[in-house]
Amino acid sequence: MQAFAALIDGLIYTRSRDLKIRLIADYLRITPDPDRGWALAALAGTLNIATVKSAAIRAMAEERFDPMLFRMSRDYVGDTAETVALMWPDKSDGDAAPSVSEVIDLLNSTSRARAPAVLAELMDRLDANGRYALLKLATGGMRVGISARLAKTAFGQAFGVSVDDVEEVWHALRPPYTELFAWGEGRTKRPDPADSAFFRPFMLAHPLEDGSVYLDEFVAEWKWDGIRIQIASTGGETRLFSRGGDEVTGSFPEIAAAFNNIGVVDGELLVRGEVQGGEAASFNALQQRLGRKNVTAAMQAEYPVFVRLYDILFDGAEDLRSQPWTARRDRLELFTAKLDPARFDLSAVIAARDFEHLAEIRAAAREAAIEGVMLKRRDSPYLAGRKVGLWYKWKREPLVADCVMMYAQRGSGKRSSYYSDYTFGCWTEDGNLLPVGKAYSGFSDEELKWLDRFVRNNTVARFGPVREVEKSLVLEVAFDAVHESKRHKSGVAMRFPRISRLRRDKPAEEADTISALRAMID
Amino acid sequence: MHEIRDDVAALAGCGHEISLIHAVYIAPATAHILITKRTADISRTAAQHWIEPHAHGIYVKPADMWIDPSRPAERALVTHGHADHARSGHGAVWATPETLAIMALRYGTEMGTPVPYGDGFEHGGVKISFHPAGHVLGSAQILLEHAGERVVVTGDYKRRFDPTCTAFEPVACDVLITEATFGLPVFTHPPIEDEIAKLLAARAANVDGCIVVGAYALGKAQRVIAELRRAGYDAPVYIHGAMQKMCDLYAAHNVPLGELTMATGLAKSELKGAIVIAPPSAMNDRWAQRLPEPITAMASGWMRVRQRARQRNVELPLVISDHADWTELTDTLLELRPSETWITHGRTDALGRWCELHQLKARALDLIGREDEDEG
């Protein structure tokens, strides 16, 4: 367990992708089976210990610690597992530390009711770093900035095999992947991929910045604001993958079930109804579904999802990736015609005379689900990653409003302990401030430090973790759209608000009014 | 307005509940609301006390003196030399000789009355004496005696061994005015020997590069160097130019730091395998780009929390603090058992809660301007 804990901490403190890969590769080479296989599964997100849920960890903490002190600590640290690991009294000198496979065996062989006690016994045998790794392992959420793809890349590097070969056999195997390591070490033949559907890396776009392109060379499509996914089907099985190559089939089973064709396609997952404007909450629902391994029928009914297709990589077994976009587009249209129109449609090509015309069309588009415009070279093959000059994304200009900071709360994750989540308001006709939104991004690290200090030095009241501040700081807030909302007292809500500038020069009285915001509703 | 406040309090899911049966803890910003409701007797005691907490310092009324005032005062008692406690521009200053030397170095011509550890004087009917706090060279707790009552202001303190300063001495008192920089139960500082061993191991594994250790220029830097020496590391330690004078001052006060070399201006090849100590502000600066493949380390109690290390781009976190950790803070309260505890700065709400759980009377002062997030 100590070696695994050291690996996890190494990954947390290392920023370079190459160094992360090297750390994982070194661990996989040195560590014996089956520990390394469980670790690989934990990093790739395929380890699922059914007996331990994060609620069990909270319960374990609340049983041992004063709930108020625990909440204050959790609020400061920004991560439940880490808080528990740090608060847990040190009882071990590290000698009795369990191995990764002992942990897995113990937790898998217990019941959900007994799991907290088993976990507590294991905690007593570890130091603070070991306890952290244990809790992360048990709940399955490592959050060390590793995608499934990166874990497989590290495996490939550790044993000198190609990552595509790893992808192809991956889904035919189960943790702790002993056959995979046997093959990697050259002790056995490559495992049989067993007709498995696997991930191919996405093609990505560069931002257009201030440039322009000729539309006889480039085709324009809308950039839809959903979740980019890849669907791969062998006929025998269908799998959905997110941008990082993580499998998300379990989150959207209705899409996998409806996909009745063989091939690999690239598209955007959207919620029906949202496309024609509507509540921003539906996108949040989509994201929540993404985080789940299983979804209920009720969620499926409440948020009907479909996929808007951008591209085709494989038609049947035929690899189309080296063909130009125009040829792939023809094939995609034929391919999509055979799919259920309730679940799949084509991302339309924008008919624009020239670039200026396109700019007008883009400026006029205020539909909530449109994030901007994609520009794709007509002769471009489908290549992994971001390649210069082939695909561009041209996001639409945001709306902005000057708002006044009202409340602040500490962030979590990267921003833990900083006051980084801000509630801001605009003025009513009779001179009151009402909250219109909440934002926690858009500022630089330097600005965050300044904002944090501002909050600390200008607190007028505290409500648990929330601080009310002096209503003196104007924040320029950028957002994609504004719409009516019954949930906010102000009657309006912003879509994707973020802080675009700190207006320390501007007096609070001169911030925008709610009626000015209202005028921006489409 | 109140409607909105209630909204937010409800959203946060936690109004402060105060028990008046055994102990009282008043959270600073909500205090005014509570007073109007029911705690009139408590606020009267506090208001009438001869020591008054203000946002910018602690005021000793009969002596007309301020402790660690954050704005210029006629008469100031200074606990230690860190900039958030020792400011320039006061009329008269009382501090330990070491603290006065540090203030003279930082602010130029500043003069004051030296008060060595254990010594005392009287002013305006208050007996004032200075006692070791174990935080940095010259750091002191201040004991104030008046009207049969003993009040101790800890300033910043720690109870671990530190070769660079005099160890903390517990002083019996009725009112303890304490810091709470690391006043959360997640903060346990590991033995410094372990952290120094981590640093030496990283150096050994990186002979072609160097380790740059971010450390506060007063106290932390000298402690890290002295602990390296104690661990048997006798190679030169390379320092950022901004640290030279403070290291010289420590050496002049009988804190041997061994051979120190200025890192500024040296070629990359000369710094291979070096340990370089620099102020945290220089770490992400152009200054650090001249070092050969540096591993970024940081010596601070905040490094206990992973995301804090990540926020600062730290690759090698060293949990080394000059403040009391949670155990030291709470053990000190149990040892001294003051009849009242006032908490000046840091995680005041959590230490206040602990006092409540242990039936100790406490109140949070929340002085502003304490740089509780940067040093440590």
Distance from CA of B307 to the nearest CA of A (A): 6
Q: What is the predicted pLDDT for the residue at B308?
A: 86
Stretch B202-219: mean pLDDT: 93
B280 is a domain residue: yes
Q: What is the predicted pLDDT for the residue at B18?
A: 31
Give the count of Cβ contacts less than 8 A between chain A and B. Answer: 118
Q: What is the predicted pLDDT for the residue at A368?
A: 63
Query: Is A214 at the interface with chain B, CB within 8 A?
Result: no
Per-residue pLDDT of B350-367, as tens digits, reads 999 999 999 999 998 866
Cα separation, B67 vs B58, in Å, equals 5
CB contact under 8 A, B186 and A86: yes
Across A114-123, A289-298, A433-442, B164-173, least confident range: A289-298
| Interface with chain A: mutation pick from B70, B293, B307, B311, highest number of A CBs within 10 Å | B307
Name which residue leads in pLDDT, B4 or A401. Answer: A401
Residue A52 tokens read as 């331990």
DSSP string, B257-312: ---EEE-TT--GGGGTT-EEEE-HHHHTSHHHHTSSSEEEEEE-GGGGSHHHHHHT
Which residues does A236 contact at the CB level (< 8 Å), separation at least 6? Answer: A195, A197
| Interface with chain A: mutation pick from B1, B6, B306, B315, highest number of A CBs within 10 Å | B306
Query: Is A78 at the interface with chain B, CB within 8 A?
Result: yes
Note whether A203-395 and A399-518 share their fold: no
**Band of residue B19 on the pLDDT scale cut at 50, 70, 90:** very low
Q: What is the predicted pLDDT for the residue at A482?
A: 83
CB contact under 8 A, B305 and A65: no
B373 is a domain residue: no
- With left for phi above 0 and alpha for psi between -120 and 50, is residue A235 left, alpha or beta? left
B14 is a domain residue: yes
Pick the CATH number of A203-395 from 3.30.360.10, 3.40.50.1820, 3.40.640.10, 3.30.470.30: 3.30.470.30
Q: What is the predicted pLDDT for the residue at A240?
A: 95
CB contact under 8 A, A13 and B317: yes
Residue B166 tokens read as 């005099």
B248 is a domain residue: yes
Q: What is the predicted pLDDT for the residue at B370?
A: 57
Name which residue leads in pLDDT, B349 or A521. Answer: B349
Cα separation, A132 vs A142, in Å, equals 10
Question: Measured between alpha carbons, how far is residue A481 from residues A249, A279, A476, A521, B193 in Å?
Answer: 31, 11, 15, 7, 56
For residue A462, give the nearest of B27, B307, B353 by CB distance.
B27
Per DSSP, B250 falls in state H
Q: Where are the beta strands (DSSP E) in A452-503?
A: 459-463, 466-469, 474-479, 481-484, 492-495, 498-503
- Read off the CATH number of the domain in which B261 is found: 3.40.50
Placement of tokens 């009207």 in the chain: B147
Question: B132 and B18 share a domain?
Answer: yes
Chain A residues closer than 8 Å to B298 by CB? none
Query: Is A66 at the interface with chain B, CB within 8 A?
Result: yes
**Band of residue A11 on the pLDDT scale cut at 50, 70, 90:** very high
Query: Is A6 at the interface with chain B, CB within 8 A?
Result: no
**Band of residue A247 on the pLDDT scale cut at 50, 70, 90:** confident
For residue B29, give the nearest of A78, A445, A460 by CB distance.
A460
Q: What is the predicted pLDDT for the residue at A457?
A: 86
Q: What is the predicted pLDDT for the residue at B2?
A: 36
CB contact under 8 A, A418 and B13: no
Distance from CA of B165 to the nearest CA of A (A): 29
Of chain A residues 96-155, which have a CB less than 8 A from chain B? 128, 132
Domain count, chain B: 2
Per-residue pLDDT of A442-498, as tens digits, reads 888 889 989 999 998 888 888 778 899 999 999 999 987 788 877 778 888 888 899
Stretch A85-112: mean pLDDT: 90
Per-residue pLDDT of A172-184, as tens digits, reads 899 999 999 999 9
Q: What is the predicted pLDDT for the residue at A281?
A: 47
Chain B residues closer than 8 Å to A467 by CB? 29
Name which residue leads in pLDDT, A229 or A55. Answer: A229
- Read off the CATH number of the domain in which B158 is found: 3.60.15.10
Which segments of A346-426 does DSSP mark as H helices, in order? 355-364
**Band of residue B348 on the pLDDT scale cut at 50, 70, 90:** confident
Residue A346 confidence (pLDDT) above 70: yes
B287 is a domain residue: yes
Q: What is the predicted pLDDT for the residue at A137?
A: 93
Domain span holding position B273: 192-318
| Amino acid making up residue A378 | R
Q: What is the predicted pLDDT for the residue at A519?
A: 85
Stretch A327-334: mean pLDDT: 97
Residue A514 confidence (pLDDT) above 70: yes
For residue B307, give the nearest of A87, A414, A460 by CB distance.
A414
Among B184, B183, B130, which residue's Cα sits nearest to residue B153?
Answer: B130
CATH number 3.50.50.60 given to A2-139: no
Per-residue pLDDT of A76-89, as tens digits, reads 898 899 999 999 99
Question: B144 and B225 share a domain?
Answer: no
% of chain A with per-residue pLDDT over 70: 95
CB atoms < 10 A from the CB of B375, how many? 26
Distance from CA of A86 to the nearest CA of B (A): 5
Per-residue pLDDT of B287-342, as tens digits, reads 777 788 889 999 999 999 998 888 788 999 999 999 999 999 999 999 999 999 99
- Mean pLDDT of all residues belonging to chain B: 85
CB contact under 8 A, B305 and A457: no
Question: B117 and B256 share a domain?
Answer: no
- Mean pLDDT of all residues belonging to chain A: 88
Per-residue pLDDT of B243-300, as tens digits, reads 999 999 999 999 999 999 999 888 888 999 999 999 988 876 777 777 888 899 999 9
Which segments of chain B does DSSP mark as H helices, in order? 2-12, 31-37, 40-48, 97-107, 192-204, 220-230, 244-252, 280-283, 286-289, 306-311, 326-336, 348-357
Residue A6 tokens read as 């050291």
Chain B residues closer than 8 Å to A456 by CB? 368
Distance from CA of B366 to the nearest CA of A (A): 10
B376 is a domain residue: no
Per DSSP, the three-state class of A46 is: coil
CB contact under 8 A, B315 and A462: no
Which chain A residue shows the shortest CA-CA distance from B309?
A: A13
Chain B residues closer than 8 Å to A452 by CB? 373
Residue B25 confidence (pLDDT) above 60: no
Which chain B residue shows the shortest CA-CA distance from A466?
A: B12
Stretch B129-145: mean pLDDT: 98
Question: B128 and B259 share a domain?
Answer: no
Stretch A224-236: mean pLDDT: 90
For residue A77, give the nearest of B305, B309, B316 by CB distance.
B305
Chain B residues closer than 8 Å to A79 by CB? 306-307
Question: B180 and B290 share a domain?
Answer: no
End-to-end CA distance of chain B: 38
Residue A259 confidence (pLDDT) above 90: yes
Question: B144 and B208 share a domain?
Answer: no
Question: B181 and B81 share a domain?
Answer: yes
Backbone angles phi, psi at B213, to 5 degrees: -105, 115
CB contact under 8 A, B315 and A461: no
CB contact under 8 A, A416 and B368: no
Q: Which CATH superfamily is domain A399-518 in?
A: Nucleic acid-binding proteins (2.40.50.140)
Question: B132 and B252 share a domain?
Answer: no
Question: B178 and B43 share a domain?
Answer: yes
B145 is a domain residue: yes
Stretch A259-268: mean pLDDT: 95
Cα separation, B185 vs A83, in Å, equals 9
| Amino acid making up residue B117 | Y
Q: What is the predicted pLDDT for the residue at B369?
A: 53
| Interface with chain A: mutation pick from B2, B6, B8, highest number of A CBs within 10 Å | B8
pTM of the model: 0.76
Interface of B with A (CB under 8 A): 1, 4-5, 7-9, 11-16, 27-30, 33, 184-188, 304-311, 313-317, 347, 349-350, 353-354, 357, 368-369, 373
User: C-alpha angle with apex B263: B258 to B265, nearest 5 degrees?
Assistant: 140
Question: B206 and B98 share a domain?
Answer: no
**Band of residue A291 on the pLDDT scale cut at 50, 70, 90:** low
CB contact under 8 A, B304 and A86: yes
% of chain A with per-residue pLDDT over 90: 53
CB contact under 8 A, B314 and A13: yes
Q: What is the predicted pLDDT for the residue at B34?
A: 32
Chain B residues closer than 8 Å to A414 by CB? 307, 310-311
DSSP string, B181-199: TT-STT--PPPHHHHHHHH
For residue A461, give the nearest of B5, B186, B307 by CB distance.
B5
Cα separation, B51 vs B41, in Å, equals 17
Which chain A residue shows the shortest CA-CA distance from B185?
A: A87
Per-residue pLDDT of B189-203, as tens digits, reads 999 999 999 999 999
CB contact under 8 A, B185 and A65: yes
Q: What is the predicted pLDDT for the residue at A294?
A: 75
Question: B15 and B144 share a domain?
Answer: yes
Chain B residues closer than 8 Å to A87 by CB? 185-186
Per-residue pLDDT of B145-184, as tens digits, reads 999 999 999 999 999 999 999 999 999 999 999 999 999 9
Query: Is A73 at the interface with chain B, CB within 8 A?
Result: yes
B375 is a domain residue: no
Residue A188 confidence (pLDDT) above 60: yes
For residue B13, give the nearest of A415, A459, A464 by CB distance.
A464
CB contact under 8 A, B11 and A65: no
Question: B69 and B18 share a domain?
Answer: yes
Of chain A residues 398-427, which have a CB less than 8 A from chain B? 406-407, 409, 413-418, 423
**Sequence ranges of the domains in chain A:** 2-139, 203-395, 399-518
Q: What is the predicted pLDDT for the residue at B10?
A: 34
